[in-house]
Amino acid sequence: MIKINLLPHRAEARNARRQQFYVLLGLMAFLAGAIWFLGFGFIGRQIDQQIAKNEFLQSEITVLDKDIAEIKKLKGQTDALLARKRVIEELQANRTEMVHLFNELAKRVPEGIYLRTLVQTQQKIVLTGVAQSNARITTLMNNLDESPLLENSTLIETKAEVIANRRLNAFSVHTFITRQLEDSDKPLRKDKK
């Protein structure tokens, strides 16, 4: 019988497989390192590009914020100028109103009534004074309502006072001015508040 010693052949095959395993292990490690390096480089480039985009957008947002602030400033200036223009137009349209008001009051206040104060708040006028009797206050209110410049007279308060040993009636009346049109004689009524 022939005896064949297979031990060296098996040892060589084992060494060859071991060597092949180490080569494959090194190749896999190299391949894993290359994939990691490429992936890391790709992700790094993507992050850098996104950071650049974000910085660009931030700079554009800053520019737009400055533009918006400038627009708000210009809008505020425009609103202020328009408000001044409206005030000037209103003053121009009603520049003779006070003269007409005092003329009307001089015509409409009956004898026996003495005005103490006249306060105007927009269209509302508050007259305070003293009268010799309540009938004279009623006459005053009727005269004010008949005026083309005044309307809606309302008695707010009346009370008896003694002034210089005379019994008089102190009163407070509210009335409203009607705005006059320059082109016609018709009164233009504004909302009362």
Return the higher-pLDDT residue of 166 and 66: 66
Task: Please give the single-letter amino acid code of residue 191.
Answer: D
Name the strand (E) or helix (H) holding 84.
helix 7-93
CA count, 13 A, side-chain hemisphere, 183: 0
Looking at the structure, do residues 81 and 143 belong to the same domain, yes or no? no
The pLDDT of 93-114, averaged and rounded, is: 80
Percent of the chain scored above 70 by pLDDT?
89
pTM: 0.46
Specify the number of domains making up the chain: 2
| CA-closest candidate to residue 151, choices 102, 188, 111, 114 | 188
Tell me the C-alpha distance between 25 and 21, whole Å: 6
pLDDT tens digits, residue range 53-95? 999 999 999 999 999 999 999 999 999 999 999 988 877 777 7
pLDDT at 116: 86
| CA-closest candidate to residue 131, choices 144, 119, 116, 149 | 116
In a domain, 8, yes or no: no
In a domain, 9, yes or no: no
Tell me the C-alpha distance between 151 and 179, whole Å: 11
**pLDDT confidence of 190, banded at 50, 70, 90?**
very low
Looking at the structure, do residues 114 and 167 belong to the same domain, yes or no? yes
The pLDDT of 91-108, averaged and rounded, is: 78
pLDDT at 101: 80
| Count of CB atoms situated within 10 Å of the CB of 150 | 21
pLDDT at 37: 94
**pLDDT confidence of 6, banded at 50, 70, 90?**
low
The pLDDT of 15-31, averaged and rounded, is: 94
pLDDT at 172 over 80: yes
- HEC string for 133-155: CHHHHHHHHHHHHHCCCEEEEEE
In a domain, 17, yes or no: no
* Domain at 136, CATH number: 3.30.1660
The pLDDT of 177-186, averaged and rounded, is: 54
In a domain, 1, yes or no: no
The distance in angstroms from the start CA to the end CA of the chain is 133
Angle, nearest 10°, between helix axes 97-108 and 134-146? 140
Local structure of residue 189 (DSSP, 8 states): -
Name the strand (E) or helix (H) holding 175.
strand 166-177
Return the higher-pLDDT residue of 124 and 7: 124
Looking at the structure, do residues 60 and 117 belong to the same domain, yes or no? no
Tell me the C-alpha distance between 125 and 97, whole Å: 13
Residue range of the domain that includes 42:
34-93
E-strand ranges in 58-149 read 113-121, 124-131
pLDDT at 5: 65
Residue listed under structure tokens 């190749």: 27
In a domain, 102, yes or no: no
